[in-house]
């Protein structure tokens, strides 16, 4: 019996198979690029999120549980005259922690606006749901903005104070009864995220220990001050980050590891640290349907991918190069990102210079991140406009940039070339003073790796920072020289 030979596929089928593989590979690249963009957005958004634990730690330090207890004890009215008072600013309340029954519900009217002013100030923040203090005599006294959130009876998980985790953390040791010094030096403890029984909202509570001597009873009073922080209000910028399509699921959690739901793409990053040292994490997840919608509606890479499919037979090499350039371009300054600099690119050039915008942190702190971004864009344009054709400017990270020069034969040419950057001040309308920079430049040798070259240039940059800023340092033999030499002091 004869065995027939396998017939090779026609060339047109090979071409179609190749195009299909190329199309699938391109789609995979687009998906990965979109994923990286989402992760990059996540890092930018979390970087701008203010640490609410630090903010409310500072606010809670001004609260005085002794004043709160004194106000309730001395108040002639323990319950409101009417069931609902629309003119009340806030409501001061009290509960018996053992019986769970209410002790007081006192509306603060505009006429007594200054009463418990610090409590009203902290409660005015939209993130704060509730302020209260739990005392060692089993009283829970607090303040809320709306009396409709107050229950007829408390529903605590545990009515025994010493069995409360945070109470035991500060007051559960035997030494506390003798010294009245809290058992822990932690400035604040933070609860897990839970559903508040008063309002039904997702909440994080910050606990602060307090103790004071009560002259009326001639006894020490101690306990915990609680600040209930609404998760949706405090973290709205990271939970709903976009005006358009948001992640399918956004979570704030203290768990570093959380299983990803089936058919979801999950991202996680540390968000902030509590005063007790615990890390809070932000987690986004996209269902495949939402990820595809984001890919179709918001990804510039997908639009380029469609163009590439149409033009691949004629100009696939050029389109591929363009996609690679976009993938390595910083979206803010439109300069190449640092990951384009490899060993081969380094050895194609003669000099490497690293530049750092002077006093950039002060710009952000004084004028805001939007002005800081404007300064970065303006400096990138200035840098790109003052280098020659064939030289390369790179956004290295933060306020740092790198320029690569080729075709500079000697030190004199190098100084003449880079001195142009110092010749004219860079002024933008948003800042009262010009933008200046410090830099260090080195000659590229065959034996230098990219990290070595950057380190050497960075040492020169540091030298400039220590010697007046707004200059460029370079090596002349073993000595460090400055492109713009300092003016010698006048003769006596």
Across 301-321, b (16+ Cβ under 10 Å) vs e yields bbebbeebbeebeeeeeebee
Task: Tell me which residue range forms the domain holding 115.
Answer: 55-234
CA angle 411, 414, 419 (to 5 degrees): 125
Of 203, 234, 265, which residue sits at a domain end?
A: 234
- 487 domain residue, yes or no: no
Interstrand relation of 437-443 and 472-476 (parallel, antiparallel or unpaired): parallel
Of 190, 207, 234, which residue sits at a domain end?
A: 234
Whether residue 264 sits in one domain with residue 219: no
pLDDT tens, residue by residue, 276-307: 778 899 999 999 888 888 877 777 888 877 77
Whether residue 64 sits in one domain with residue 173: yes
**Mean pLDDT (the chain, rounded):** 86
Whether residue 149 sits in one domain with residue 86: yes
| Of 49-63, 79-93, 163-177, 466-480, the least confident | 79-93
Residue 6 has pLDDT above 50, yes or no: no
- 358 domain residue, yes or no: yes
Whether residue 249 sits in one domain with residue 218: no
Whether residue 195 sits in one domain with residue 87: yes
Whether residue 371 sits in one domain with residue 248: no
Whether residue 366 sits in one domain with residue 453: yes
Q: How confident is the model at residue 146 (pLDDT cuts 50, 70, 90)?
A: confident
Residue 471 pLDDT: 95
Beta bridge partners of 106: 92
Of the candidates 347, 482, 469, the one whose C-alpha atom is nearest the C-alpha of residue 415 is: 482
- 361 domain residue, yes or no: yes
Of 234, 258, 284, which residue sits at a domain end?
A: 234
Rounded mean pLDDT, 89-115:
87
Residue 81 pLDDT: 58
- Alpha carbon separation from 299 to 22, 35, 224, 250, 312 (Å, rounded): 19, 10, 49, 20, 20
* SS3 state of residue 208: strand
Whether residue 173 sits in one domain with residue 92: yes
pLDDT tens, residue by residue, 227-255: 999 999 999 999 988 887 889 999 889 88
Whether residue 219 sits in one domain with residue 87: yes
Q: How confident is the model at residue 1 (pLDDT cuts 50, 70, 90)?
A: very low
- 370 domain residue, yes or no: yes
- 418 domain residue, yes or no: yes
CATH number of the domain within which 349 lies:
3.30.70.270
Whether residue 221 sits in one domain with residue 97: yes
- 5 domain residue, yes or no: no
- 327 domain residue, yes or no: no
d(CA 418, CA 318): 33
pLDDT tens, residue by residue, 350-406: 999 999 999 999 999 999 999 999 999 999 999 999 999 989 999 998 999 999 999
The most distant pair of C-alpha atoms in the chain lies apart, rounded to whole Å, by 113
Q: What is the reported pTM?
A: 0.56
| Of 212-216, 280-284, 343-347, 439-443, the least confident | 212-216
Whether residue 67 sits in one domain with residue 139: yes
- 7 domain residue, yes or no: no
Residue 316 pLDDT: 56
Q: How confident is the model at residue 171 (pLDDT cuts 50, 70, 90)?
A: very high
Residue 372 pLDDT: 94
At 363, give phi and psi (nearest 5°): -65, -45
Whether residue 38 sits in one domain with residue 64: no
Of the candidates 145, 152, 150, 163, the one whose C-alpha atom is nearest the C-alpha of residue 108 is: 145
pLDDT tens, residue by residue, 416-434: 999 999 988 899 999 999 9
How many independent structural domains does the chain possess?
3
């Amino acid at each position: 019996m004869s065995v027939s030979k396998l017939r090779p596929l026609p060339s047109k089928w090979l071409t179609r198979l190749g195009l299909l593989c190329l199309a699938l590979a391109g789609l995979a690249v687009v998906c990965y690029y979109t994923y990286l963009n989402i992760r990059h957005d996540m890092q930018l958004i979390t970087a701008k999120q203010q640490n609410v634990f630090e903010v409310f730690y500072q606010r809670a330090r001004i609260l005085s549980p002794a004043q709160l207890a004194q106000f309730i004890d001395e108040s002639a009215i323990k319950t409101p005259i009417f069931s609902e008072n629309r003119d009340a600013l806030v409501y001061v309340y009290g509960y018996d922690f053992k019986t769970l029954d209410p002790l007081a519900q006192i509306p603060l009217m505009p006429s007594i606006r200054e009463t418990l002013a610090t409590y009203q100030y902290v409660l005015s923040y939209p993130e704060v749901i509730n302020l209260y203090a739990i005392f060692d005599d089993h009283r829970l006294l607090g303040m809320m903005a709306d009396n409709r959130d107050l229950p007829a009876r408390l529903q605590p998980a545990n009515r025994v104070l010493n069995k409360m985790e945070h109470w035991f953390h500060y007051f559960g040791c035997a030494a506390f009864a003798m010294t009245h010094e809290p058992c822990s030096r932690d400035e604040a403890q933070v609860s897990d995220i839970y559903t508040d029984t008063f309002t039904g909202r997702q909440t994080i509570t910050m606990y602060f220990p307090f103790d004071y001597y009560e002259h009326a009873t001639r006894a020490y009073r101690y306990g915990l001050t609680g600040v209930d922080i609404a998760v949706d209000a405090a973290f709205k910028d990271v939970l709903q980050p976009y005006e358009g399509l948001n992640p399918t699921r956004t979570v704030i959690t203290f768990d570093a590891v959380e299983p990803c739901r089936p058919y979801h793409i999950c991202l996680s990053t540390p968000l902030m640290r509590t005063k007790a040292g615990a890390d809070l994490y932000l987690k986004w997840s996209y269902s495949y349907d939402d990820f595809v919608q984001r890919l179709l509606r918001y990804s510039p890479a997908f639009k380029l991918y469609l163009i590439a499919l149409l033009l691949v037979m004629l100009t696939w090499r050029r389109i591929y190069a363009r996609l690679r350039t976009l993938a390595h371009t910083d979206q803010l300054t439109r300069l190449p990102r640092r990951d384009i600099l490899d060993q081969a690119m380094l050895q194609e050039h003669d000099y490497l210079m690293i530049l750092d915008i002077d006093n950039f942190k002060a710009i952000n702190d004084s004028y805001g991140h939007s002005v800081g971004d404007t300064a970065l864009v303006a400096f990138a344009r200035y840098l790109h406009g003052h280098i020659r054709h064939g030289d390369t400017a790179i956004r290295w990270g933060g306020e740092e940039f790198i320029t690569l020069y080729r075709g500079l034969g000697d030190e004199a040419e190098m100084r003449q070339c880079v001195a142009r950057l110092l010749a004219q001040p860079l002024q933008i309308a948003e800042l009262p003073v010009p933008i200046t920079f410090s830099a260090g430049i080195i000659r590229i040798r065959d034996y230098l790796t990219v990290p070595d070259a950057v380190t050497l240039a960075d040492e020169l940059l540091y030298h400039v920072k220590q010697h007046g800023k707004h200059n460029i340092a370079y090596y002349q033999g073993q000595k460090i020289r400055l492109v713009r030499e300092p003016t010698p002091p006048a003769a006596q």
